[in-house]
Amino acid sequence: MRAAVLDSFARRGRHLAFRATADPYAILVSEAMAQQTQAARAADYWTRFMVEFPTVHALATATPAAVLRAWRGLGYNRRALALRKAAIAIVADHGGRVPDDLETLVRLPGVGPYTARAVAALAFGRPVGAVDVNVRRVLSRAIGGSLDAFGAAELQRVADASVPLEEPGTWTHALMDIGATFCRPRAPRCGGCPAVPWCRYALASSRDAVSGDYEGTGLRAARERPARFETTSRWLRGRLLDLLRDAPGEAWAAIPTSMGGHDGGSMTVALDALVRDGLAERHPTDRRRARLPIA
């Protein structure tokens, strides 16, 4: 299976901008962006971000406001601040060089087990398995036969054991591509997957004439109609943050009394949440003005 997966990736792997670099810092940035964001979309933002912050020193010396402006459109904005803190730690504690061992990587601010393993494998060739949601699906189905075949610790052991010693980075990208392209959460496209001859899930599905499993249940559950996104606090926080991004430099932005269907009370709650998360700061004397943090 490993040979077939690597051969398929060599012939038809996705061409993403950040896959062309071996720079550990650039790879760290790409992995921070790709969390909870489609890889192709993250690649576009990564290219622009690297122009503005081409080195770890450039990111470490940037203001939070500059980083948040460059992150606009990616979502999950606290990741941007965490990435900046990681850059500061790399400069202060590691001489400006991204650490090359897993234990040190995972201690960087905002770098969890997945990101640490991805950087270790992709940048430094360490034979460790990086388990994101795509890889989890592929290995759980192929090796275990179902999405819930393994607990987290056991899955990590399976992932580490699956890594070819000579091509850990290529293997990481290949599994992610299979998860994104074939091994979908619903109705996986087993017919085109290079792992299918060895996949326990596909073999069982073929025997039982099962078209696909579902995350959590195979039954189509009745769902409540979701609330319009514009009515949610997440939408409001995003619009407020964009308002602050639009203010030039260190200028304070006036906060309107309402936005969309949200009244003044909702505006206050949303702005307070941004301040707590370190994404905004209030004017010292005028609570109706705020800006992106500058230090």
CATH number at residue 159: 1.10.1670.10
Task: State residue 71's pLDDT score.
Answer: 96
One-letter amino acid at 156 equals: Q
Domain that holds residue 82: 14-124
Do residues 277 and 203 both lie within one domain?
A: no
Q: E strands, 178-288, where?
A: 253-254, 281-282
Residue that terminates a domain, selected from 124, 154, 178: 124
| Structural domain contains residue 224 | no
Domain count of the chain? 3
DSSP 27-85: HHHHHHHHTTS-HHHHHHHHHHHHHHS-SHHHHHTS-HHHHHHHTTTS--THHHHHHHH
Task: State residue 205's pLDDT score.
Answer: 79
Q: Give the CATH number of the domain where residue 114 resides.
A: 1.10.340.30
Task: State residue 207's pLDDT score.
Answer: 60
Q: Which residue from 248, 234, 230, 243 is spatially nearest to 280, judged by alpha carbons?
A: 243
Do residues 27 and 87 both lie within one domain?
A: yes
Tokens 């039982």 found at: 208
Task: State residue 155's pLDDT score.
Answer: 97
Q: Which residues contact 156 (CB under 8 A, 6 or more apart)?
A: 113, 129, 131
Task: State residue 229's pLDDT score.
Answer: 65
Task: State residue 37's pLDDT score.
Answer: 85
| Sign of torsion over alpha carbons 161, 167, 169, 171 | negative
Rounded-to-integer distance, Cα 48 and Cα 43, Å: 9
Reported residue count of the chain is 295
Six-digit token pair at 6?
């690597």
Q: Report long-range pairs for 237-244 (Cβ below 8 Å, ≥24 apart).
A: 237/270, 237/273, 237/274, 238/75, 240/267, 240/270, 240/271, 240/274, 240/280, 241/68, 241/77, 241/274, 241/279, 241/280, 242/72, 244/280, 244/290, 244/291, 244/292
Look up the pTM and report it. Answer: 0.87
The answer to whether 291 and 281 have CB atoms below 8 angstroms apart is yes
Rounded-to-integer distance, Cα 34 and Cα 177, Å: 13
Residue that terminates a domain, selected from 147, 176, 208: 208
| Structural domain contains residue 114 | yes
| Structural domain contains residue 287 | yes
Interval 134-165: pLDDT, tens: 999 999 999 999 999 999 999 999 999 999 99
Q: E strands, 83-191, where?
A: none
Q: What H or E segment, with its residue span, contains residue 242?
A: helix 233-246
Do residues 45 and 63 both lie within one domain?
A: yes
Catalytic residues: 31
Task: State residue 129's pLDDT score.
Answer: 96
Residues of the chain with pLDDT under 70: 207-229
Task: State residue 130's pLDDT score.
Answer: 95
Q: Give the CATH number of the domain where residue 274 resides.
A: 1.10.10
The answer to whether 108 and 56 have CB atoms below 8 angstroms apart is no
Residue that terminates a domain, selected from 208, 242, 261: 208
Question: 129-165: buried (b, 16+ CB within 10 Å) or exposed (e) per residue?
Answer: bbbbebbbbbbbbbbbbebebbeeeebbebbeebbee
Task: State residue 270's pLDDT score.
Answer: 93
Interval 105-118: pLDDT, tens: 999 999 999 999 99
Strand order in the sheet with 281-282: 253-254, 289-291, 281-282
Do residues 159 and 104 both lie within one domain?
A: no
